[in-house]
Amino acid sequence: MNAVLPRFLKSTYRKDPLISVLITVGVVDALIGGLDDSWSLFAFGLGTAGITLALKLWRIQQRRSIPEEPVVQHYLPSRSSSPTLPMLTVTKKKPPY
């Protein structure tokens, strides 16, 4: 099996677990209904998977339409009290003998 497919499925299930479960239930119902000649189960499965997929696409479009403002984080104050930093002086101590 391709190594990319399990990673894709895991990331998809972690992002939207409810939608992923509903799509899986709909596809499994459609497969069982199609193979067992139960057309009502087949239609129910296709309807469930289709409505859930449409809901997921609608949610993706809603997320994209909201513009995100960039978060600016300042680590230093905008105006400091002195324009330059003070000089550091190192005092040399004589080691004790």
* Whether 26 contacts 46, CB under 8 Å: yes
pLDDT tens sequence across 41-60 = 999 999 999 999 999 899 88
pLDDT tens sequence across 71-90 = 777 776 666 555 666 677 77
Q: Is the pLDDT of residue 14 over 70?
A: yes
Q: What is the pLDDT of residue 81?
A: 59
Cα distances (angstroms) measured from residue 24 to each of 4, 17, 27, 67, 95: 19, 10, 5, 32, 75
User: For residue 20, which of 28, 34, 39 has the smallest C-alpha distance?
Assistant: 28
CA distance linking residue 97 with residue 61, whole number of Å: 76
Q: Is the pLDDT of residue 32 over 80?
A: yes
Q: How big is the chain by its Cα radius of gyration, in Å?
A: 30
pTM for the full model? 0.56
